[in-house]
């Protein structure tokens, strides 16, 4: 590893962390907007659950995207994802039909997967020998985004209405512009690693138990975060409180 590759590039790490914050801000728009979509499109709870499942479905692409991240310079995935996710979620209120909403959420899910699979590898590349520090910044920013997202969505609806909230996507495009500027010309490919077969003996001891823990944790998390705003508003709560 060259000396410059060992250094912690704080500005690059902060830029990627900011990209994570803005990206996850927009991906958190879906749950507070569901009660409004139910009213606009006359959806049943089963249809709403299907929308949620559709938005999560592209997560199965993560292994393939991670495979590409190990072999290609997937900088553009990280650069474009905040803008694309912002666009898809900000246009949800414009969708005239349930089918159109499904297509939009499916596209959003692909964008989310395209960001989260390679972004940690990019952080590892620019964080040098302080990968833990870089990842802590990255993860903290993502959690902050998921906290701010519902608040921003409700504020945008209050200001412009469900169908007029699309200007809020501009923050996501600004984030992508920042990432393009900071990462332009940076080769974020990691040094050649061992092949997949080399880590197979470790899968059973480490990855498989983690997969089951994360699977059931995320099932409960998605159930609560997606359905709770709808449940509360059906019980008479204001949208900002839900």
Produce one character per residue of 23-62: b if its CB has 16 or more CB atoms within 10 Å, e if not. Answer: bbbbbbbbbbbbbbbbebbebeeebbeebbebbbebeebb
- Contact call for residues 13 and 134 (beta carbons, < 8 A): yes
Interval 114-142: pLDDT, tens: 999 889 888 988 888 888 999 999 999 99
Span 169-193, pLDDT tens digits: 999 999 999 999 988 877 666 555 5
Structure pTM?
A: 0.83
| C-alpha dihedral sign at 42, 229, 113, 25 | positive
CA dihedral 154, 144, 177, 128 (to 10 degrees): -170
- Could you tell me the CA-to-CA distances from 49 to 53, 59, 115, 117, 202 in Å, in that order? 6, 16, 24, 25, 36
d(CA 213, CA 96): 38
Mean pLDDT of the chain: 84
Kindly list the domain boundaries of the chain, sorted by start residue: 3-194
User: Which CATH superfamily does the domain covering 3-194 fall into?
Assistant: MFS general substrate transporter like domains (1.20.1250.20)
Q: Are 105 and 219 contacting, i.e. CB atoms less than 8 angstroms apart?
A: no
Higher pLDDT, 238 or 197: 238
User: Is the predicted pLDDT of residue 201 greater than 70, yes or no?
Assistant: no
4 or 24, which is more confident?
24
**Per residue in 75-120, pLDDT tens?**
888 999 999 999 999 999 999 999 999 999 999 999 999 999 889 8
């Amino acid at each position: 590893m060259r000396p410059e590759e060992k250094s912690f590039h704080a500005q690059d790490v902060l830029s990627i962390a900011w990209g994570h914050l803005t990206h996850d801000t927009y991906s958190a728009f879906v749950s507070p907007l569901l009660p409004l979509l139910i009213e606009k499109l006359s959806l049943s709870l089963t249809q709403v659950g299907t929308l949620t499942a559709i938005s999560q479905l592209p997560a199965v692409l993560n292994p393939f995207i991670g495979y590409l991240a190990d072999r290609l310079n997937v900088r553009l995935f990280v650069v474009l994802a905040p803008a694309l996710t912002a666009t898809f979620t900000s246009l949800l209120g414009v969708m005239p039909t349930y089918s159109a909403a499904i297509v939009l959420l499916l596209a959003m899910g692909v964008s989310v997967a395209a960001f989260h699979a390679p972004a940690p590898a990019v952080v590892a590349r620019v964080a040098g020998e302080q990968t833990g520090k870089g990842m802590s910044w990255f993860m903290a920013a993502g959690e902050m985004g998921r906290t701010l997202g519902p608040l921003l969505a409700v504020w945008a609806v209050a200001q412009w209405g469900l169908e007029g909230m699309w200007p809020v996507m501009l923050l996501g495009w600004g984030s992508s512009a920042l990432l393009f500027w900071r990462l332009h010309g940076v080769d974020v490919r990691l040094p050649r690693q061992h092949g997949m077969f080399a880590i197979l003996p470790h899968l059973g001891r480490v990855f498989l138990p983690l997969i089951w823990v994360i699977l059931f944790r995320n099932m409960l998390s998605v159930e609560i975060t997606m359905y709770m705003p709808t449940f509360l508003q059906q019980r008479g709560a204001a949208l900002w409180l839900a």
